[in-house]
A and B are shown apart, each in its own frame.
Chain A
Amino acid sequence: MNEAAQRLGVSLRQTEDELTRNMLASTASFINCTGGTNGDNPTNLTRTDVDEVIKTLADNNAYTIGQNIEGEDKFGTAPVRDAYFAMGSTKLIGDLEDVDGFIAKAQYPAPMNAMKPEWGSISNLRFLLSSIGSITSSGSALGNDVYNIFCVGMEAFAVVEQDGYSSQFIYRPPIYDGPLALNASVGYKFAQVPRITNDAWVINLRTTLA
């Protein structure tokens, strides 16, 4: 029972994430990476593309989400700017680390201020990666997978809870299941609507791998 509850809990939260991801993929405006050299459209990720997204969000008066992390006198570290969040796939890890100005989480002066899924930062963009990050399969001009990096400012999107609740974990013991009390039921349900609140503060930075 404990294991079932744990697994269902993960499933619940992951499903919420997937729905929000799919909402962003359906409706957010996008910028194709064009600074790379892989010959595709979009290209692989470069510093030029990161700068373009930051500039666009700043032009649209989006607030940054992450606080700056002040520099400290520690070997190999660098200060981290206040930043917008960029949510993408873990398959981007290699490409991210090749971008000019990439600072790995381990190089933050205070890594404890980073979040679990955070991989690092580039300029004013901090990258949060997930195995369920958005991918448009065969979406590029040459037919390669396109990785959608949702770059967001503060309060750019929200999840609205419906019917007065977020989610419910449901357990029915065997006695309610049948005359022989053979089967128990566990499950969850939730009623939520993900929604962009200001489209100018969300940009899907589309990229292919190098």
Chain B
Amino acid sequence: MDGTVIQQGKFTSDGSSKFLNIRSDVDWMEIINYTQSATTQTTGRGVMFRWQRGMADAAGIMYTKQDSANALDLEVITAGGFTLLDTSDKTLGALNATGSGVTAASPAVVSATSTAGLAAGDVVRMYNVAGMQQIAGMDFTLGTVTTNTSFQLVHLDASGFAAAGTTCSFRKVPFQPMFYPRARYITKVTKAASAVITLSVTHGYNVDDVVKFVVPSEFGMVELDGVQGKVTAISTANNTITVNVDSTAFTTFAFPTSAIAAAGVTFAQVIPVGSEGTNSVEAATDNVDYIGMSLGAGADAPAGSSSDVIYWRAGKSLIVDNE
């Protein structure tokens, strides 16, 4: 029937959660763990899973293969199941006001009595950081998260800041802006024959990307403001880009004081303006938002365990009537 779309596919589990990009959107989904279906279980485990629009995030129906028998039991799962994602929804996470300090160290570490929903690699936006307003309103990728104790702003070297921050708030930024590559905030610039720039959020740039710098006077290195450079190397570990700009004789890059920032500043930025070489035009025009399904992993989850072969079918219905 027109108005419906059915897609299918398979993948081999690597033991971690799996995201399936299903651009047509999805109203229902079925998963079969082909590997485990063909295996005699010593303990029953999930081999078939179903989801329909209207179920809660991470929920689903699980068919469990009984111990040593070719028979199924059925149960509802409420965790580790199916989660429908649409990254064009840029709604931020809830305001978390439990921050009690930000160290003036490298990397900066935020103390917070609640780290609910945060994990390494997530992005948070910091707010109203008393004593360290120069980072208020900026986004940061997280390093180590110590549950309900602290998290690292892993790409922020705050060791040169005059003082540590005290009370602060933050929100999780679940999805990044729609188009790749994106403008990013600068947290550090070296003075070198080929300047090395650290960005606050995982940058995603490639070698041969061409970028422009915006460095307001409050950040010191005004010689870099408006300069265009080509990325010659990247470090994913340090979240840096190396560019063909000689900054040896430039003024030292430094964040403004908390008081100056509180009065209003524009952050230092890297702006992607194009690319050379193999990236060509695509690298500056790529809409990377997606609709799809996130599948939990594990023995009783749709993405299965490592090496499991998973078959899936997903459909878009003509009518969804969820009363």
- B182 close to chain A: CB less than 8 A: yes
Type the 1/0 row for A156-171, where 1 means its CB is closer than 8 Å to any CB of B: 0000100000000000
Find B269's partner among A25, A29, A178, A195 (CB 8 Å cutoff): A29
Q: How many interface residues does B have (CB within 8 Å)? A: 39
Instruction: Given the known inter-chain contacts A27-B183, A137-B90, A183-B318, please indicate yes or no for A42 contacting B178, CB distance below 8 A.
Output: no
Chain B contact residues, majority secondary structure = loop
A-contacting residues, B160-188, CB 8 Å: 169, 171, 177-183
Type the 1/0 row for A1-39, where 1 means its CB is closer than 8 Å to any CB of B: 000000000000000000100110111111111111001
- A118 close to chain B: CB less than 8 A: no
Q: When the two chains form their complex, are residues B269 and A22 in contact, meaning their CB atoms are under 8 A apart?
A: no
- B125 close to chain A: CB less than 8 A: yes
- A199 close to chain B: CB less than 8 A: yes
In whole angstroms, how far apart are the Cα atoms of A195 and B90 in the complex?
21
Q: When the two chains form their complex, are residues A138 and B136 in contact, meaning their CB atoms are under 8 A apart?
A: no
Instruction: Given the known inter-chain contacts A29-B214, A31-B266, A34-B266, please indicate yes or no for A185 contacting B3, CB distance below 8 A.
Output: yes
Q: When the two chains form their complex, are residues B137 and A141 in contact, meaning their CB atoms are under 8 A apart?
A: yes
Q: When the two chains form their complex, are residues B261 and A41 in contact, meaning their CB atoms are under 8 A apart?
A: yes
Q: When the two chains form their complex, are residues B2 and A23 in contact, meaning their CB atoms are under 8 A apart?
A: no
- A70 close to chain B: CB less than 8 A: no
Instruction: Given the known inter-chain contacts A27-B284, A33-B264, A141-B127, please indicate yes or no for A183 contacting B1, CB distance below 8 A.
Output: yes
Q: When the two chains form their complex, are residues A183 and B262 in contact, meaning their CB atoms are under 8 A apart?
A: no
- B193 close to chain A: CB less than 8 A: no
Q: When the two chains form their complex, are residues B269 and A32 in contact, meaning their CB atoms are under 8 A apart?
A: no
In whole angstroms, how far apart are the Cα atoms of A185 and B95 in the complex?
43
Find B271's partner among A138, A178, A199 (CB 8 Å cutoff): A199
In whole angstroms, how far apart are the Cα atoms of A76 and B182 in the complex?
45
- A143 close to chain B: CB less than 8 A: yes
Find A32's partner among B3, B180, B266 (CB 8 Å cutoff): B266
Q: How many interface residues does A have (CB within 8 Å)? A: 40
- A51 close to chain B: CB less than 8 A: no
In whole angstroms, how far apart are the Cα atoms of A22 and B178 in the complex?
6
Q: When the two chains form their complex, are residues B264 and A22 in contact, meaning their CB atoms are under 8 A apart?
A: no
Instruction: Given the known inter-chain contacts A30-B269, A32-B265, A185-B3, please indicate yes or no for A139 contacting B125, CB distance below 8 A.
Output: yes
Q: When the two chains form their complex, are residues A30 and B169 in contact, meaning their CB atoms are under 8 A apart?
A: no
- B294 close to chain A: CB less than 8 A: no
Q: When the two chains form their complex, are residues B261 and A142 in contact, meaning their CB atoms are under 8 A apart?
A: no
- A55 close to chain B: CB less than 8 A: no
- B133 close to chain A: CB less than 8 A: yes
Q: When the two chains form their complex, are residues A183 and B266 in contact, meaning their CB atoms are under 8 A apart?
A: no
- B128 close to chain A: CB less than 8 A: yes
Q: When the two chains form their complex, are residues A183 and B3 in contact, meaning their CB atoms are under 8 A apart?
A: yes
- A177 close to chain B: CB less than 8 A: yes
In whole angstroms, how far apart are the Cα atoms of A33 and B264 in the complex?
7
Please list 13 pairs of residues, one from A and one from B, whose beta carbons are closer than 8 Å in the complex, sorted by A's number: A22-B178, A22-B179, A22-B287, A26-B182, A29-B269, A30-B269, A34-B263, A34-B265, A41-B136, A42-B264, A143-B127, A177-B1, A196-B284
Closest 6 interchain pairs by CB?
A: A34-B264, A141-B136, A26-B177, A26-B179, A141-B137, A22-B178
Other A-B contacts than A43-B264, A139-B125, A178-B1, 14 sampled, CB-CB below 8 A, are A26-B182, A27-B272, A29-B269, A30-B214, A32-B267, A35-B264, A41-B261, A141-B136, A143-B127, A143-B169, A143-B171, A183-B1, A183-B2, A196-B273
